[in-house]
Amino acid sequence: MTNYLSKLLLTLSIVLISSKSFAANETIEMLNKMDNESMVYSKKVVRINVGDTVFWKATDKGHNVEFIKGGFPENVEKFKSKFNKDTEYTFTVPGIYAYWCTPHKSMGMIGFVVVGGDKSNLEAIKNINFSGKSKKIAPDLINSL
Ligand SMILES: [Cu+2]
Look at residue 139 in the predicted model and tell me its pLDDT: 98
pLDDT at 16 over 60: no
Query: What is the C-alpha separation between 65 and 42, in angstroms, rounded?
Result: 13
- For residue 119, the CA-to-ligand 1 centroid distance in Å is 26
Residue % of the chain over a pLDDT of 90: 83
pLDDT at 22 over 60: no
**Mean pLDDT over residues 12-38, rounded?**
77
| Average pLDDT, rounded, for the chain | 91
- For residue 14, the CA-to-ligand 1 centroid distance in Å is 35
- For residue 84, the CA-to-ligand 1 centroid distance in Å is 9
- Assigned CATH for 23-143: 2.60.40.420
- For residue 144, the CA-to-ligand 1 centroid distance in Å is 22
pLDDT at 23 over 90: no
Residues whose CB falls within 8 Å of the CB of residue 110, separated by 6 or more in sequence, listed in order: 41, 44, 68, 98, 99, 100, 101, 130, 134, 137, 138, 141
Look at residue 143 in the predicted model and tell me its pLDDT: 98
Would you kindly state where each structural domain of the chain is located, as residue ranges?
A: 23-143
**Predicted confidence band of residue 24 (pLDDT cuts 50, 70, 90):** confident
**Mean pLDDT over residues 39-68, rounded?**
98
Higher pLDDT, 14 or 26: 26
Look at residue 61 in the predicted model and tell me its pLDDT: 96
Predicted TM-score (pTM) of this structure = 0.85
The H or E element containing residue 23 is none
